[in-house]
Chains A and B, each alone.
Chain A
Amino acid sequence: EADIYQTPRYLVIGTGKKITLECSQTMGHDKMYWYQQDPGMELHLIHYSYGVNSTEKGDLSSESTVSRIRTEHFPLTLESARPSHTSQYLCASSWNNPFSSYEQYFGPGTRLTVT
């Protein structure tokens, strides 16, 4: 089993609050990702990072921001939570190969509910 951790696992929060979802991995992977997924539905890439000080937006427009100050840590921040942000947020990591794509290891996810 991969060593990638997410906290909190569940979060219920009111509209307008600022929240940070934590993600850490101990595998030394260069590449990290954040996905948004409604239960049983497809994965939507919202942010990714190739390494320290590198962040990119994914395919899904998102009101969140990310940072990558340390290799192992990739937090996601929502400045002002809204009910439309209610979803599951999955963090993943992989090795960064310039010629191919490596398998991704997923954390257990954070299930966010905004009331």
Chain B
Amino acid sequence: GQQVMQIPQYQHVQEGEDFTTYCNSSTTLSNIQWYKQRPGGHPVFLIQLVKSGEVKKQKRLTFQFGEAKKNSSLHITATQTTDVGTYFCAGGSNYQLIWGAGTKLIIKP
């Protein structure tokens, strides 16, 4: 069946370092959405990308959608403690959302 693979599962960074998570789909997606879930919380929508090659920025967060609409990335510049949580991608396909397994961002003490 359709799958969205997300890597890495965990990323440990020092505060101030950058963070990146990647999603790859086995099929072409109509769109890709990104969500953030804080520890103990629920997923919160961050952004949706629709166009091939699209790049969007939200302050220190940069989202990309691949040219073939099969992959996407989220890059955070200069991480802060408020960035801690799990980042999920979700690909739109056949009017459904297919969720990645999430990447947990952990700030080293």
Measured CB to CB, the residues of A under 8 A from B are 40-43, 45, 90, 92, 97-101, 103-109
- Give the distance to chain A from B6, nearest Cβ to Cβ, in Å: 9
Interface of A is mostly: loop
B99 adjacent to chain A (CB < 8 Å)? yes
B63 adjacent to chain A (CB < 8 Å)? no
- Give the distance to chain A from B91, nearest Cβ to Cβ, in Å: 9
**Cβ B45 vs Cβ A105 within 8 A:** yes
Cβ-Cβ contact count across A and B, 8 Å cutoff: 51
Interface of B is mostly: strand
Measured CB to CB, the nearest residue on chain B to A48 is B96
**Cβ A40 vs Cβ B42 within 8 A:** no
- Chain A residues whose C-beta falls within 8 Å of the C-beta of B61 in the assembled complex: none
Query: Whole-angstrom distance between the alpha carbons of A105 and B46 in the complex?
Result: 11
Query: Whole-angstrom distance between the alpha carbons of A90 and B41 in the complex?
Result: 10
9 contacts between A and B (CB under 8 A): A40-B102, A43-B88, A43-B99, A99-B30, A99-B95, A103-B33, A104-B43, A104-B97, A108-B41
**Cβ B45 vs Cβ A104 within 8 A:** yes
**Cβ B42 vs Cβ A103 within 8 A:** no
